[in-house]
Amino acid sequence: MHIAVCIKQVPDTKNVRIDPDTHTLVRQGVESIINPFDLFAVEAALKIKDETQATITVLTMGPPQADEALRDALSRGVDDAVLLSDRAFAGSDTWATSTTLAAAVRKMGDVDVVLCGKQAVDGDTAQVGPEMATFLDMPYATFVKKIEVLDGSALKISRQTDEGVEIWKLPTPCLLTVIKEVGEPRLPSLRHKMRAKKATIPVWGVADLGLAPENVGLSGSFTQVVRVFSPPRRTDRVLIQGPIEEQVEQLFRHLKESKVPGL
């Protein structure tokens, strides 16, 4: 079984600061990490490998320094890594990102399972996994918490929903996005760390993926980030307490005083 895991390098959210004037992320001096949900995807793949003869390839699209994220995954026991890096990929939205990652999975050829984190902690869209599956014409399941390999051609998965847990059988090839319940990510081992340090990581660009430059990066994107800002803190909050009738009365008075239309 060949598992492809898509990861993204993101700023370490524990240390992110917002510039109070520009309202943008201060990236200087902020360490980059593997998106925590993608690390669960790596762990899910490694768990399958613990039980079966799986081979794991980790993929990321990003600038040359995203190589670090791939080596981090290798140091935890992933077999191979591929970096998708090209100036033409800059400015990709989820559509262009999925187009690019899907092309890479297609190029790999023999992928049975694609694993992604449920979403990235920087963009929080949760779109890339399902979009990739659509481009690859694969069945997919999101918010997966447990994966069992039934045989060479099917998986039994449990997915967490607001209502409860759904259990599905999916034929391979398929794509899953996972949540933290798949298991706590293991730490690197010394042997894998040494291998990761020396590993040669292939870099694939637009030409390698057989994509047209206009379909990737900013020009292949339907959306653009115009501005990022943190919403101003709301300070005018009032806690209404007491018996329910009084609460309703107070609420009505507050809304009226605030000149809410229609009251």
- Site residue total, other proteins (CB under 8 A): 9
- Please state the closest distance from residue 39 (CB atom) to other proteins, in A: 12
Which residue from 49, 146, 180, 193 is in contact with other proteins, where contact means CB under 8 A? 193
Give burial (CB, 10 Å; 0-12/13-18/19+) of 49: middle
Gap between the Cα atoms of 7 and 104, Å rounded: 13
Please choose, from the candidates 148, 234, 43, 194, the residue with its C-alpha nearest in 3D space to the C-alpha of residue 157. 148
Question: Residue 77 or residue 217: which is nearer to other proteins going by CB?
Answer: 77
Q: Does 15 bind other proteins (CB under 8 A)?
A: no
151-190 positions binding other proteins, by CB under 8 A:
186-190
Which residue from 194, 248, 255, 263 is in contact with other proteins, where contact means CB under 8 A? 194
Q: Residue 81's beta-bridge partner residues?
A: 58
Q: Does 27 bind other proteins (CB under 8 A)?
A: no
208-247 positions binding other proteins, by CB under 8 A:
none
Q: Does 13 bind other proteins (CB under 8 A)?
A: no
Map residue 27 onto helix, strand or coil. Answer: coil
Map residue 57 onto helix, strand or coil. Answer: strand
Q: Does 197 bind other proteins (CB under 8 A)?
A: yes
Q: Does 195 bind other proteins (CB under 8 A)?
A: no
Among positive and negative, which fits the CA dihedral 33, 35, 36, 38? negative
217: left (phi over 0), alpha (psi -120 to 50) or beta: left
Question: Residue 2 or residue 71: which is nearer to other proteins going by CB?
Answer: 71
- Please state the closest distance from residue 198 (CB atom) to other proteins, in A: 10
Residues contributing to the site for other proteins (CB under 8 A):
186-191, 193-194, 197
